[in-house]
Structure 1
Amino acid sequence: MKRILTLLLIIPLLSMTIENDKAKFIGKWIGEDEKEIGYSNFDSEGYAYFEVQGQIMGGKEFVRKGKKGNMTYEINSKTNPIQVNLVVTMLEPKEQKKLLCIANFIDHDTMEFAISFDENRPTEFDSENSLIFKREKQKNE
């Protein structure tokens, strides 16, 4: 009986930790790469998108080459740096690709983010694979 009670207490704590880790990412982030401004956005529903030159890739629904898809994200903050998976799902035909990333919070509103377009997760932040993103403040903040 004690084991069951212990499990009932631990499970909500684990889900709270996962939600708190995800909450660090939620918001619209602005970054600059070779003088080009871009945005990344992580929402509370688990969707993510990138926006460059007005073009949006990802989110709850997007169209690429005439096909619909979406992009979600997964966070593993038990690692250092934090592991982030961006999961791009094309709906027809059903195909999935994971972009393996790492993130490091410099402060609450500044994040270093590295992404790999091959199947290897970056192990460090360098000028080739990473950007610094600043959280864009909402008007009511």
Structure 2
Amino acid sequence: MKYLFTFFIIPFFLLNTTTQKENFVGKWLGEDQSEIGYLIFDTEGYAAFEIEGQVMGGKEFYMKGKKGKMTYSINYDTKPIEVDFTLTKIESGESKKILGIAEFTDKNTLQFNLSFDAARPTEFGEDSIVLKRVQ
């Protein structure tokens, strides 16, 4: 009986973890100071911001004439969830991190807060944004 319990419980937790990590994948719509934009997480670990049709991020993009990429990592072991974006200049390898926190209010709604300096936000406040999954 003990082995049967282990046989069913361990795969359940592995499946649950895999599903949880896939929650971020998709296109999320947000509005900040009357600007509508999107945050996109793909299955390969790339992320992009899209505002007024301009995309910054993903596997390859140009900024000030330089080719770059933006990846993301998610730490589900913290509360709130830590979400880090890494912008990398492809030619030089130079990179910069954008630190954030996130919290699901339901499977298609995400409260999000980012910091563009070196300190991670610790709470959700007036700088937070609510994102709705659109894809």
**1:38-117 superposed matches below 5 A:** 38-117=37-116
Does structure 1 residue 22 correspond to structure 2 residue 21? yes
Any stretches of 5+ residues in structure 2 without a counterpart?
Answer: 1-9
Any stretches of 5+ residues in structure 1 without a counterpart?
Answer: 1-9
Letter in structure 2 aligned against 1:87 = T
3-state SS of 1:25 partner = coil
- Distance in 2 between residues matched to 1:31 and 1:58, nearest whole Å: 17
Q: Does the CA contact (< 8 Å) of 1:21 and 1:75 recur in 2?
A: no
Match of 1:3 in 2: none
- Distance in 1 between residues matched to 2:90 and 2:108, nearest whole Å: 33
- Distance in 2 between residues matched to 1:36 and 1:80, nearest whole Å: 28
Residue identity (%): 55
3-state SS of 1:134 partner = strand
Aligned length: 124
Which consecutive aligned stretches of 4+ in structure 1 deviate over 6 angstroms post-superposition?
A: 13-16
TM-score by length of 1: 0.82
Task: Tell me how far 1:16 sits from its aligned partner.
Answer: 7.5
Does structure 1 residue 131 correspond to structure 2 residue 104? no
Cα deviation, 1:98-131, whole Å, max 9, x if unaligned, reads: 1100000000000001000000000001112x10
- Distance in 2 between residues matched to 1:113 and 1:28, nearest whole Å: 14
Match of 1:7 in 2: none
- Aligned alpha-carbon RMSD (Å): 1.7
- Distance in 2 between residues matched to 1:117 and 1:15, nearest whole Å: 34
